[in-house]
Structure 1
Amino acid sequence: MSEIIIRPNVGFDVLPYKEGLEKIDFDRECKFDEVLMVNHTCYGPIYPFEELFSEMESRQCDFWGVTAHMEMTPNPFTGTGRLPYHINTNFLAVRAPLLRSPPFRKYWGAIKGADTYEAAIQEHETRFTDHFTELGYVSDTYLDCRKYGTHYPAILDIDETMVDRNPLLKRRAFFHDPRFLEHYAADLPRAIDVMRRTSDYDESMIWRNVVRSAELRNLNTNASLTSILPDVRMKQDATLPDYGRVAVCAHVYYTDMLEELLQLADTIPVEYDFIATTETEEKKAFIEKAIAGRKNVGKVIVRVVEKNRGRDMSSLFITCRDLFMDDRYDLVCRLHTKKSPQVAAGRANMFKRHMFENLLNSRGYTTNVLDMFHDNPWIGVGVPPLVHIGYPTMGHVWFANREKAELFKIGLDLNINFDTDTPVGAFGTMFWFRPRALRKLFSHPWSWEDFNPEPHHVDGGLAHVLERLICYVAQDAGYTTQQIINSRLAGWNFGMLEYKLQKISAALPNADFTGQYNFLDHWRRTGYRIDSPHPAPAEHAVIEMGILPPAPPPPTVSQSLEVLILSAKRSIAHRYPWALKLLLSLRRNIG
């Protein structure tokens, strides 16, 4: 017998369990030996359920699950008493003696449903095991969760439970706040590695599902979606597979950089089409002559843009729109001739190398990139990590682009959530992509007038907004974004990040990352007032269940105005230092 009950999405998993049990009238007709209550918060079976059911069939108990949560004192939800040991109710089996008993019916009759996640946990999950154990019923779990040494092994020991062939992989580990996972060093990347080595589970089902609800920054952090690739092919003994049709699509404004782009493209180990855009017929002829006879180059397409507005972004999404609206290409590397004359030469050159060397560093490196896309069909975009050396990007890289990004999110019908502080983006607008992953950007009827006229290529304009939308459009299409970096730049970037983090941390009270973050966040929300008290919140009592401390109250209007003025001053000082010097000079003269 099978029946699907369609109901409003209310009551979390508790009310659906109750309605299902009521539907079978708590097995009054004695049709079932066992009833399973299973929700959608796990992936699986990572390992065959046959192993699970075969083992549990030999256990003498009245109800059982796969994993359990340990007892805690005090109860982190209330701050008093104790949180009892309880089976995680994402997978709960109840056998006939309990299923048909009056106490079981009475328990569910008292369930009213909860409006919040935390209340739902307290109403059912944390009560069920303790309640029926006190009534004399016997429980058991497939995994001996007491051996792991943490209170929540399903997440905090997610890798070790995979080693022990846990058939269920918690979804929350992928999208939960990374501060919680960092606090306990919960190693999701190792769990994924164990799964890949020991299971035949279709991994694509994980990624296609999790991108529907996760914030990209959290997902990329928790699952370590960053690949440090060497300059030799990792699959040295394997023949090159069929990568599909590959293309390089480059916007060439500075023709003196064309040879540099072509040398990068030479690292592609298979035939590829070379597509270029430029703004004059003279440059078009120059490009066509330079590319003639180049190794591995198949078809050559060079187009002159209709207008020089939007630079590399408009040339991609307007001039080349027709090339990527169908399935003629499977994988494309987007490049452009980058000089960044508005910043100091050292920083500009570093930014350019950060793009070029992390996309096409050598033949072996580029082959690894192609292998990555071939072996992981859920990856839609490959980008260099966020540039931060020489640039104040960390935590602020939305700059003036968030408001318009929200508008285009609606206009493009993107069913995603933007990251609050630091979006995952194709910063520098050079990246690898599957055209299918960005179909919404290519199908949208952009016009040249949508882009800022020259020379006003500034934050807040469409080109810079698109730079931040690319990875989220891929997410909406069901694809992940992989950050890729070569080993030399990985070492340098890690060293710089470690240095910057330890300098900031040294200026703060001695606490873990979450404590220091709360300290600074409180200061920020009070408008960075020097005389504002800066308590270090006691986060540990709450973080135990994975519920981070509540945010401080929002700032007042006057505090917000002070922050706005301060931010404006800092922005002017960073972008237009000459203007700040002029204002200071006028102030001194007036004084």
Structure 2
Amino acid sequence: MFISNSVISEDQKIKVAKLCNAIILRENKGYDFAAWKEGLLKETWDVLTQYDNVTLMNDTCFGPLFDIEPIYNRFEDQSLDFWGMTNCPYANNGMPGTNDAIPEHVQSYFICFKNKVLQSKVFRTFWENVQIETKVENVIQKYETRLTGILGKTGFIYTTLYDTNIRTGITHHPDLATWYPDLCINNKVPFVKVKSFIRFPHPKYILKLIQEKSEYPVSLIQDAISDSYDPFTALLVCDKLIPARVNRELPETSLKIAVHLHVFYLDLFEQYFIYFDSFLFNFDLFITTDTLEKSKEISDCLESHVTAKKIKEIIITENRGRDIIPWLSIGDRLADYDIVGHFHTKRSPVAEEWSGITWQQEINDLLLRPINEIVNIFNTNSKIGIIIPELPFIFHIPIPLRFSYEKNMQVTMQGLWRKMECRKDINFEVLMTPIMSCGTMFWYRPEALRRLFQLKISMEEVPPEPLTIDGTLLHCIERIVVYLAWNEGFDYRIMVPESQKISGFVDNLMLNQQFVINEQLRNEKIMILRSRSYRLSRVLLVPLRVFRKIINFILK
């Protein structure tokens, strides 16, 4: 029996129907225990008591990593009444919602009851008394942590595949299935908890361990994490980095490709055509610029470039909104393509002076030189909705904490998210390091960013050029595109130099976290100094009062 607390499509129903006898679609109320109750009651107790055993499991885990038939055979041959994969040992505190003691119990993500339990009154009474709870803490307190004890008091015998009471040197948390997935995998537990990839300090090690110990396709795990968790969390778990290889042969592709280039600085635009001339595939080029004179000069300069034949249109736009508003203004022209590259000639003299290399050059080396690699990614993986460059070196600083406007942008991004009626939940206001394309240059599928092109932006919302401040709506759009692709069910990739193993976004998070720690320590030191100075002033004040009394007495 398959029970879902969410809506599934007809295609999904057809797939699931091949794997089960019944499908129950219900409201998302009461979590897994309420769902199991509904399934058990629908099957009826008369039918349930005819089974040799009934297994209840939920979707909080991946697996099976290993064949589970031998596990069933092993426990069927033992004098047991119910069993599970792992148990949570007794703990003096830690009960969710109360921090009371946690009784030992079989964890409910996978638990099997034999016929003797199915026929018992205590088992039936337990399920008939399950209520719809609105807080998961209540479900854990009232049902998950109590079921084992209720059955145990009746005399039923239970065990687990991995008895977590037998553990060496593990004292941090009783829930080994979530906090120590490596121990579970090494002890042949065939399921790994989804949350373990978020709570374990080295989640990519868990993926590697699964690959080494089993034949389970880790791509299923990566796809699920990427879809369910925000892009930065997914970066910590999944393989998002693509080496910017330049020696890949161009794959055969039927992709319809376009490039948009916004030209403001004429002295920079021709460098792009050196890259475009090397493209070995068909593409259409859309150019936007802000004056007719620039348009004519662009046309004159392109006579020596083969890419000139690729120009679909040169469009004159208002000098407002940098490259973003011109790009959004031709969204209807770009919507017919499978993938689009967005580029521009924006410059940052300060960044160039600091880094010794233009950040545009860094981005071009990652998004234009390895173009065959990029086309291959889109060509072979329909789930990829956007490809961005690695964080340029100049931006490896704790941005959100250094600049107050970053906090304002987080609020604006949250407002944009609501305005575009995005379906996934995310809190930008606690997002320290956004996954973003610095400089707003990237390759994307138009359908992945459709909500952005449907967004109605008035010119009153766009500050006039030149921008005198950071933190505008334009900067918010720069930071939100990867999240919009994620909202539409697409994944992303980051192009990095070939030898690079870790993303600068992760480095930036560490810098941010260290900056927070340093700020907290600094504030604590200030409070200590203030407290000490106050106490010192009180100490000095007492002798002064005594001295004043003595002087007053003498003068009298």
Q: Do the structures match in fold with TM over 0.5? A: yes
Contact 1:163 1:194 in 2 (8 A): no
Cα-to-partner distance string for 1:13-50 (whole Å, 9 max, x where unaligned): 12222333333444467332322323232345566766
Which segment is superposed worse, 486-495 or 83-92? 486-495
Compute the displacement of 1:434 (Å).
1.6
> 2: distance between equivalents of 1:228 and 1:148?
39
Q: Which residue number in structure 2 is paired with residue 216 of structure 1?
A: 231
Compute the displacement of 1:101 (Å).
0.7
SS of the residue aligned with 1:323?
A: helix
Which of 187, 198, 215 is the aligned partner of 2:203? 187
Contact 2:352 2:359 in 1 (8 A): no
Contact 2:48 2:118 in 1 (8 A): no
> 2: distance between equivalents of 1:98 and 1:495?
50
Q: Which residue number in structure 2 is paired with residue 248 of structure 1?
A: 259
Which of 414, 418, 423 is the aligned partner of 2:427? 418
Q: Which residue number in structure 2 is paired with residue 154 of structure 1?
A: 177
Contact 1:307 1:448 in 2 (8 A): no
CA gap 1:134/1:499 in 2 versus in 1, 3 angstroms: closer
CA gap 1:29/1:389 in 2 versus in 1, 3 angstroms: closer
Q: Which residue number in structure 2 is paired with residue 16 of structure 1?
A: 35
Which of 363, 379, 382 is the aligned partner of 1:377? 382
Q: Which residue number in structure 2 is paired with residue 358 of structure 1?
A: 366
Which of 285, 290, 307 is the aligned partner of 1:279? 290
> 2: distance between equivalents of 1:13 and 1:491?
38
Give, as a single letter, the amino acid of the residue that structure 1 aligns with 2:229. Answer: A
Compute the displacement of 1:162 (Å).
5.6
Which of 108, 118, 121 is the aligned partner of 1:102? 121
Cα-to-partner distance string for 1:353-387 (whole Å, 9 max, x where unaligned): 44333333x44xx4444444444432322223455
Compute the displacement of 1:480 (Å).
2.5
Cα RMSD (Å) = 4.3
Q: Which residue number in structure 2 is paired with residue 65 of structure 1?
A: 84
Gaps of 5+ in 1: 509-518, 534-591
Q: Which residue number in structure 2 is paired with residue 324 of structure 1?
A: 334
> 1: distance between equivalents of 2:164 and 2:382?
35
Compute the displacement of 1:227 (Å).
0.9
CA gap 1:498/1:401 in 2 versus in 1, 3 angstroms: closer
Compute the displacement of 1:392 (Å).
4.6
Give, as a single letter, the amino acid of the residue that structure 2 aligns with 1:217. Answer: F
Is 1:136 aligned to 2:155, yes or no? yes
Which of 155, 159, 171 is the aligned partner of 2:194? 171
Give, as a single letter, the amino acid of the residue that structure 2 aligns with 1:466. Answer: I
> 2: distance between equivalents of 1:408 and 1:285?
37
> 2: distance between equivalents of 1:301 and 1:193?
50
Cα-to-partner distance string for 1:561-588 (whole Å, 9 max, x where unaligned): xxxxxxxxxxxxxxxxxxxxxxxxxxxx
Q: Which residue number in structure 2 is paired with residue 33 of structure 1?
A: 52
Please show how residues 285-296 of structure 1 align to structure 2 within 5 Å. 285-291=296-302, 294=305
Which of 438, 441, 446 is the aligned partner of 2:452? 441
Compute the displacement of 1:314 (Å).
0.9
Compute the displacement of 1:191 (Å).
1.5
> 1: distance between equivalents of 2:263 and 2:210?
45
Please show how residues 477-492 of structure 1 align to structure 2 within 5 Å. 477-487=488-498
CA gap 1:72/1:290 in 2 versus in 1, 3 angstroms: farther
Compute the displacement of 1:442 (Å).
2.1
Compute the displacement of 1:474 (Å).
0.9
> 1: distance between equivalents of 2:68 and 2:92?
34
Compute the displacement of 1:463 (Å).
1.6
Cα-to-partner distance string for 1:55-104 (whole Å, 9 max, x where unaligned): 66566532233344344444465898753443321222222111121221
Compute the displacement of 1:318 (Å).
0.7
Give, as a single letter, the amino acid of the residue that structure 2 aligns with 1:227. Answer: L
Contact 1:157 1:187 in 2 (8 A): no
Q: Which residue number in structure 2 is paired with residue 229 of structure 1?
A: 243
Which segment is superposed worse, 128-137 or 139-148? 139-148
> 1: distance between equivalents of 2:31 and 2:179?
23
CA gap 1:231/1:63 in 2 versus in 1, 3 angstroms: same
Give, as a single letter, the amino acid of the residue that structure 1 aligns with 2:194. Answer: R
Give, as a single letter, the amino acid of the residue that structure 2 aligns with 1:220. Answer: L
Q: Which residue number in structure 2 is paired with residue 558 of structure 1?
A: none
> 2: distance between equivalents of 1:204 and 1:492?
22
Please show how residues 412-561 of structure 1 align to structure 2 within 5 Å. 412-416=420-424, 417-419=426-428, 420-422=430-432, 423-446=434-457, 448=459, 450-456=461-467, 458-487=469-498, 493=504
> 2: distance between equivalents of 1:173 and 1:297?
53
CA gap 1:503/1:115 in 2 versus in 1, 3 angstroms: closer
Is 1:333 aligned to 2:330, yes or no? no
> 1: distance between equivalents of 2:516 and 2:431?
19
Compute the displacement of 1:297 (Å).
8.5
CA gap 1:26/1:411 in 2 versus in 1, 3 angstroms: same
Percent of paired sites with the same residue:
25
Cα-to-partner distance string for 1:477-508 (whole Å, 9 max, x where unaligned): 11133333214676895997699579759969
Cα-to-partner distance string for 1:287-336 (whole Å, 9 max, x where unaligned): 445555756887322422331111210111112x123323x32x222221
Gaps of 5+ in 2: 2-20, 532-556
Q: TM-score by structure 1 length?
A: 0.70
SS of the residue aligned with 1:398?
A: helix
CA gap 1:372/1:418 in 2 versus in 1, 3 angstroms: farther
Contact 2:261 2:288 in 1 (8 A): yes
SS of the residue aligned with 1:413?
A: coil
Contact 1:65 1:93 in 2 (8 A): yes
> 1: distance between equivalents of 2:502 and 2:97?
45
CA gap 1:103/1:263 in 2 versus in 1, 3 angstroms: same
Cα-to-partner distance string for 1:400-448 (whole Å, 9 max, x where unaligned): 3233323322221112313323332233211221222111222334455
Compute the displacement of 1:105 (Å).
2.2
Which segment is superposed worse, 62-71 or 48-57? 48-57
CA gap 1:336/1:494 in 2 versus in 1, 3 angstroms: closer
Compute the displacement of 1:116 (Å).
2.4
Give, as a single letter, the amino acid of the residue that structure 2 aligns with 1:404. Answer: T
SS of the residue aligned with 1:382?
A: strand
Give, as a single letter, the amino acid of the residue that structure 1 aligns with 2:343. Answer: L
Compute the displacement of 1:109 (Å).
4.5
> 1: distance between equivalents of 2:107 and 2:293?
68
Compute the displacement of 1:199 (Å).
4.4
Give, as a single letter, the amino acid of the residue that structure 1 aligns with 2:82. Answer: F
Compute the displacement of 1:153 (Å).
4.2
Which segment is superposed worse, 381-390 or 32-41? 381-390
SS of the residue aligned with 1:13?
A: helix
- Number of residue pairs aligned between Structure 1 and Structure 2: 502
Compute the displacement of 1:394 (Å).
4.2
Compute the displacement of 1:258 (Å).
2.0
Contact 1:278 1:304 in 2 (8 A): yes
> 2: distance between equivalents of 1:367 and 1:148?
51
